[in-house]
Structure 1
Amino acid sequence: MEKYVELNSQGNVLRGMMHIPDGISGPVPFVILFHGFQDDRNEINFVHTELSRRLCLAGIGSVRFDFLGSGESDGTFSDITVSKEIQNGIDILDYVLNLDFVDANRVALHGLSLGGCVASMVAGLRKESVCALSLWCPALDLVYNLKNKMLCGMDVSDIDQKGYADVEGLCLSLDFYEDCLKLDPYCIASQYDGPVNLVHGDQDITASPEVSYHLKEIYQERAKLTIVEGAEHRFLSMDYRKARMDSALEFLESRLGESK
């Protein structure tokens, strides 16, 4: 079953889609999917929609919300900061944990790009509530690069003077930049002590594969890293897409498929 859902987070309404497997009598394992920068809950080429539906076929529920200022949720793009998305993520996690049909011991996080950065930090902050972490092309470097006034290869050195940056027609606020100055994603992510699955393309110039190599060093034997040769950030071929999808599904099904 797929159904539209809403959640109040920091006084704003987040809008999303929930997937609940049919014919499940006991508590349902669950995955929370976080989308990336300038995207929405369906993600590039609907890849999160596909992941949710395939998880559902495997008996695993999921929910995909638009972050504040993205998709159909309240706010505009100029309202977003990474810290606000982290709080959105924590509120979504608490929402899922309080659903009476969810197995609270089998809740995983999955994130793509900046959503992967957010997922890793939510997992670090709430490690006792997250049984597994799945990351596609995590963009922790977006935060660190912005400290040097670079955003996805774009020079935003005039953001202080203008009070915003024009990001492909969207207004990125000075608050977003100043918020990134205060964050250390690797430090927060390193607090997570559960299993992790990392997938990255070796040709990714939006989120460097060095991010996933560094996370592998942080998580050590608890993490599996798959580097897909030839793939860039969007995984724009059927073969690349399949490699990324299969890796996440195998990991999530193995971690959530049986009661722990």
Structure 2
Amino acid sequence: MMKQVSYPSRGKTIYGFAHVPETTAPGPALILSHGFTGSGYESSRLFVHLAEAACRQGIYVMRIDFLGSGNSDADFAENTYLSGWVADVLAGVDFLATQPEVDPARIGALGISFGAAASLIAGRDPRIKAAGGWASVIHPEPTFRGIFTDEKWDYLAQGNKRIEHVYAGARFGATSKFVEDVKNLSVTEAVQQYGDKPLLLMQGDLDPVIDITHSAELAAAATCPVEYHLVKGEDHSFLVHMEDNIATTLDFFRHSL
């Protein structure tokens, strides 16, 4: 069963969809985090396919739209920054823990790209039992300098600024908060706080957005159990080998939650 859900975060409202398995016993749950300028439908319904497959395997899945994205409240530029997205994920964990179909001790977080960075940082929260990232942003500044351009990144770094930009056909705004915020957060440091929490990292070897060495670097730096896959022939969308990517991901969470 699929149903629309909503929950409060940062004083506004997050909207999303929950895919609820047909079971009477509380079971595992997974919150899905889309990428920068994306939504809970993420890349031609990638997250929908994943959620439906997970639901068939007894996993409650919630795919959300971050504040300012998709159907959720607020302005994109004013609300799109890494610590804000982490807060939205953790508010989603709060919501999942109250659902009768969910075992609050079996919640996982998975994201793609910038959403993966948010999921992995949120993953240090003890309520999240396992975390995963597809093509995760590991080093935000060099990655987003490539997206924004050096000129616009340096302009935002002056403080109290806003830009409008187009990248890969997507038009968006960004504020100085985005630049200031990423300087205070480290995906690597967050993962190193996981203890024995399982971590999944997947990266396409043809990714034009994220340097393909970054996920391998994070896997090497992690002190927790890591499952790392460099997917041959895959790009940033995770659509080229979508069925295999979903199968690998669900196998990880089925055994980790």
> What's the counterpart of residue 212 of structure 1?
215
Superposed, which structure 2 residues align to 1:212-231 within 5 Å?
Answer: 212-219=215-222, 222-231=225-234
CA, structure 1 residues 26+235, in 2 after alignment: closer, same or farther (shift >3 Å)? Answer: closer
Deviation for aligned residue 1:151 = 4.0
- Worse overlay, 30-39 or 200-209: 200-209
Equivalent of 2:141 in 139, 144, 159: 144
**Aligned counterparts of 2:194 and 2:52: Cα–Cα separation in 1:** 27
Superposed, which structure 2 residues align to 1:180-191 within 5 Å?
Answer: 180-191=182-193
Superposed, which structure 2 residues align to 1:2-41 within 5 Å?
Answer: 2-22=2-22, 24-41=23-40
Q: Give 5+ residue unaligned stretches, structure 1.
A: none
Deviations 1:140-170 (CA, angstroms, capped at 9, x unpaired): 22x2326xx7143733233356922333121
Contact persistence 2:192–2:224 (CA under 8 A): no
Superposed, which structure 2 residues align to 1:147-158 within 5 Å?
Answer: 150-152=145-147, 154-155=149-150, 156=152, 157-158=154-155
> What's the counterpart of residue 61 of structure 2?
62
Deviation for aligned residue 1:236 = 4.4
Deviations 1:97-146 (CA, angstroms, capped at 9, x unpaired): 1223311121111111111100110012x0x21121121111122x2326
The amino acid that maps onto 2:161 is G
> What's the counterpart of residue 71 of structure 1?
70
Normalised TM-score (structure 1)? 0.89
**Aligned counterparts of 1:167 and 1:189: Cα–Cα separation in 2:** 31
Deviation for aligned residue 1:184 = 2.2
Deviation for aligned residue 1:94 = 1.2
Q: % of aligned pairs identical?
A: 25
CA, structure 1 residues 151+75, in 2 after alignment: closer, same or farther (shift >3 Å)? Answer: farther
Deviation for aligned residue 1:247 = 1.1
**Aligned counterparts of 1:180 and 1:205: Cα–Cα separation in 2:** 21
- Worse overlay, 56-65 or 153-162: 153-162
> What's the counterpart of residue 175 of structure 1?
177
The amino acid that maps onto 1:97 is A
**Aligned counterparts of 2:234 and 2:107: Cα–Cα separation in 1:** 29
The answer on 1:49 being equivalent to 2:48 is yes
Superposed, which structure 2 residues align to 1:101-180 within 5 Å?
Answer: 101-124=101-124, 126=125, 128-141=126-139, 143-145=140-142, 150-152=145-147, 154-155=149-150, 156=152, 157-160=154-157, 163-168=161-166, 169-180=171-182
Q: Give 5+ residue unaligned stretches, structure 2.
A: none
Number of aligned pairs? 248
The amino acid that maps onto 2:110 is H
**Aligned counterparts of 1:200 and 1:49: Cα–Cα separation in 2:** 20
RMSD: 1.9
